Structure 1
Amino acid sequence: MGTAAGVGPTASRTTARTAPRRTAPTLRQVAAAAGVSRATASRVINGGHLVSDHAKQAVEAAIAELGFTPNPVARNLATRRTGSVALVVPEPNARLLSDPFFGSVINGLSLSLEAADLQMILVIARPGPGHDRAVRYLTTGQVDGAVITSHHREDLLNARLVEAGLPCVFVGRPLDVEDSHCVDMDNVGGARLATEYLIEHGRRRIGTVAGPADMTAGVDRLLGWRQALEGAGLPTDAVVHGDFTAAGGAEATRRLLAEHPDLDAIFVASDLMASTALTEVAALGRRVPDDVAVFGFDDLGLATTTTPPLSTVIHPVEAMAVRAGQMLVEMLSGIEHAAEPVVFPARLALRDSA
């Protein structure tokens, strides 16, 4: 039988003579081209520690000449780095998805880590078995460090991570770790400014829907409210604690107004709670701000959508998360930081509710 044109022994020989595909250069070839040992070449590729300037320049020139690209898996093993940083949130999923605070933290942290070519991994560390599982994951070399937010007094997560030697930066002041690296805002000062504003504008019976008593933000904002009232010689008895959720804010406001119907202003420790406080005040037939002024805390977008728009304390969460990420990147690069908090100042955003 005849052979089809272009197929057969002749074509096979032509294919055999085709130049073989060029293989990627190896670490051994880089070392040989630079005139150094493989160990020296490896140290240059993985950070340049304990290498002379002459050897470093020779290896870098060989890398450029050969077009060498380090194997990322091998490099991670050599440097004991994963290229990943955890954002740790010890809260239920529902809270993470409903509170704009966490979206702002994710936004800010991802920006700072992206600039450093690091991947952010979200770790939900709920109480119970999930807590222990998160600690095991975070302390067994799966991530290079962690940024932790939303701190509760009885939660031992923070202390366990710090004691394990994991590089950590906290968004917000933790209650259970002294001398920690943290980024916070002046929560006391912000609550005091808001309450003083209400006093300066003629309010004399000012209650508060406070945050949880086991969280630093709740504790500090309650303190600022109390300082302003005590400074003006006004009563500080009208307090009901909420849980930083919309439903919790509604329930706390109902209780507060039932127990103290004479209130002419309410300082609410978060905008999410304040949004439902506005609804509860209106449900009682009282006008905001004419009968009852309402002042919130956060200014993360929700405050401009309420009726009326909400006066609030500006909580620079995204900027705080950016700074926390930068601090952690610097720590991972060997830059020492004093264990002193970075504190953002408080400012007010004034709108129709007060």
Structure 2
Amino acid sequence: MINKITTSMKPMKQASATLKDVAKVAGVSHQTVARVVRKSPKVAEKTRIKVEKAIADSGYLPNRMAQQLARRKSLTLGFVSIDISLHAISKIAEGIRKEAAKQGFTLSISTMNELNPDACNQAIDELLGQQVDGLIINTSVTHTMIKQILERGNLPPCIFIDFDKTSEALQVSHDQVGGASLAAQHLIDLGHTKIALINGAEDTCVAHWRETGWLNTLENAGLKPVHTIHGKWNARSGYQATIDLLDAGHDFTALLVANDEMCLGVLRALNERHIKVPEDISVVGFDNHEDSEFYNPPLTTVAQDCLELGEKSVSLLMQQMKEQAPEQAQVLLPTHLVQRQSTAPVKS
């Protein structure tokens, strides 16, 4: 909230300045200005004086909610996320909740109806209204969007999950590129050269990194995908993507699919068309959720520990809340291939 301020030295003026404006005037980063606003001890006295003068000169007044957050603790963490019904995200939330409880915190969740900056900011505002002490943000946001979030200037400490790895913001993620590469290499090792891709929503960072892993590995083997189609992470979209591939007459012997939930729809579509898995077409998923081994056939997939991801994000957030320098600004967790009965050597 921006207000008017008055000093004994200057006439009253409109305080339209932002935290970014103050940083520019003071010649420091917006993170340094935020530390001064929060009265962090980790700011040199000379820098603090310079920033405080810039605040006074520019007419900037810190958000009242941010001041309240600086004065007291709610012992609540906030989790901003896309569709919580998706298996991987529900497991991340479970990991966050468990680790938060160990640290004496409760968890409040705010979900986004759409994947855009307005929806993200609305979800953040909902949690700030509950005076959370820290935020964990899982929205597959881009580098530009993450900069906009961090420049709001009224945020408590925050951690990001699985987003643009070119950003310097604190984050925890799985090795999406490496995991996707393992899946593609598995099919190549089985002799498959005609491989189609069913990815998740194309405006998400996770889909981008998984496709990057697939394409890099195929290219290294001198291959290109037969075709790429995007789903919406759920079984229905996996079903429809497979029907579209078959109806378009694409010739493929294997499918790389961006998550296990879409694979459920993929397997049904192939079964309806009397296409046998893995005799006719091999299928590889991603996530290894607990139902994958009960698919028909049991699904070959890439495993990632989403509970651990949630727990690690809380640990990193706690370090930031205590103003401790994190051991790693970006924590990358491993993935591995789980081979079951949905893949087989290509027919000779």
Which residue of 1 is the match for residue 251 of structure 2?
262
- Superposition deviation, residue 78 in structure 1: 8.9
Three-state SS of the structure 1 residue aligned to 2:326 is coil
**Aligned residue runs from structure 1 range 153-172, under 5 A:** 153=142, 156=145, 159-160=148-149, 163-164=152-153, 165-172=155-162
- Which of 72, 79, 82 is residue 74 of structure 2 equivalent to? 82
**Does residue 240 of the first structure (1) align with residue 214 of the second (2)?**
no
> More deviation in 274-283 or 150-159?
150-159
Going from structure 1 to structure 2, the CA distance change for 1:313 and 1:225 (only over 3 Å counts) comes to: same
> How big is each residue's C-alpha offset from its partner over 1:198-256, in whole Å with a ceiling of 9 and x where there is no partner?
11112121111012221111001111111121111122241111111111111111112
The question of whether the paired residues in 2 share the 8 Å contact of 1:151 and 1:174 is answered with yes
Distance 1:318 1:251 in 2: 30
> More deviation in 274-283 or 121-130?
121-130
Q: Radius of gyration: which is bigger?
A: 1
- Superposition deviation, residue 304 in structure 1: 1.4
Three-state SS of the structure 2 residue aligned to 1:221 is helix
- Superposition deviation, residue 160 in structure 1: 2.1
Which residue of 1 is the match for residue 197 of structure 2?
208
The question of whether the paired residues in 1 share the 8 Å contact of 2:88 and 2:306 is answered with yes
Distance 1:136 1:77 in 2: 13
Runs of 4+ in 1 over 6 A off after TM superposition: none
Which residue of 2 is the match for residue 104 of structure 1?
91
Which residue of 2 is the match for residue 275 of structure 1?
264
Distance 1:148 1:158 in 2: 13
**Aligned residue runs from structure 1 range 1-354, under 5 A:** 79-89=71-81, 91=82, 95-97=83-85, 99-127=86-114, 131-139=120-128, 142-153=131-142, 156=145, 159-160=148-149, 163-164=152-153, 165-174=155-164, 178-337=167-326, 340-354=329-343
The question of whether the paired residues in 2 share the 8 Å contact of 1:190 and 1:313 is answered with yes
> More deviation in 318-327 or 255-264?
255-264
The question of whether the paired residues in 1 share the 8 Å contact of 2:199 and 2:229 is answered with yes
How much is the aligned-residue C-alpha RMSD, in angstroms? 2.5
- Superposition deviation, residue 124 in structure 1: 1.8
> How big is each residue's C-alpha offset from its partner over 1:305-344, in whole Å with a ceiling of 9 and x where there is no partner?
2110100000211111100011111211221226731111
The question of whether the paired residues in 2 share the 8 Å contact of 1:154 and 1:214 is answered with no
- Superposition deviation, residue 293 in structure 1: 0.2
Distance 2:227 2:262 in 1: 16
| Matched length | 274
Distance 1:353 1:203 in 2: 14
Three-state SS of the structure 2 residue aligned to 1:169 is strand
The question of whether the paired residues in 1 share the 8 Å contact of 2:258 and 2:285 is answered with yes
The amino acid of 1:112's aligned partner reads: E
Distance 1:307 1:150 in 2: 32
- Superposition deviation, residue 257 in structure 1: 2.5
Distance 1:231 1:77 in 2: 51
Percent identity of paired positions between Structure 1 and Structure 2: 26
Distance 2:136 2:146 in 1: 12
Three-state SS of the structure 2 residue aligned to 1:163 is coil
Distance 2:258 2:84 in 1: 18
Going from structure 1 to structure 2, the CA distance change for 1:253 and 1:152 (only over 3 Å counts) comes to: farther
- Superposition deviation, residue 261 in structure 1: 3.6
Distance 2:200 2:244 in 1: 14
- Superposition deviation, residue 156 in structure 1: 4.2
Q: Which residues of structure 2 form unaligned runs of 5+?
A: 1-40, 42-67, 344-348
Q: Which residues of structure 1 form unaligned runs of 5+?
A: 1-48, 50-75
> How big is each residue's C-alpha offset from its partner over 1:59-114, in whole Å with a ceiling of 9 and x where there is no partner?
xxxxxxxxxxxxxxxxx99952111100111x3xxx423x1112201211011111
- Superposition deviation, residue 283 in structure 1: 1.4
TM-score normalised by the chain length of structure 1: 0.71
The question of whether the paired residues in 2 share the 8 Å contact of 1:296 and 1:312 is answered with yes
Going from structure 1 to structure 2, the CA distance change for 1:338 and 1:214 (only over 3 Å counts) comes to: farther
Distance 1:190 1:258 in 2: 29
Distance 2:119 2:258 in 1: 29
Distance 2:249 2:151 in 1: 44
The question of whether the paired residues in 2 share the 8 Å contact of 1:230 and 1:236 is answered with no
Going from structure 1 to structure 2, the CA distance change for 1:132 and 1:321 (only over 3 Å counts) comes to: closer
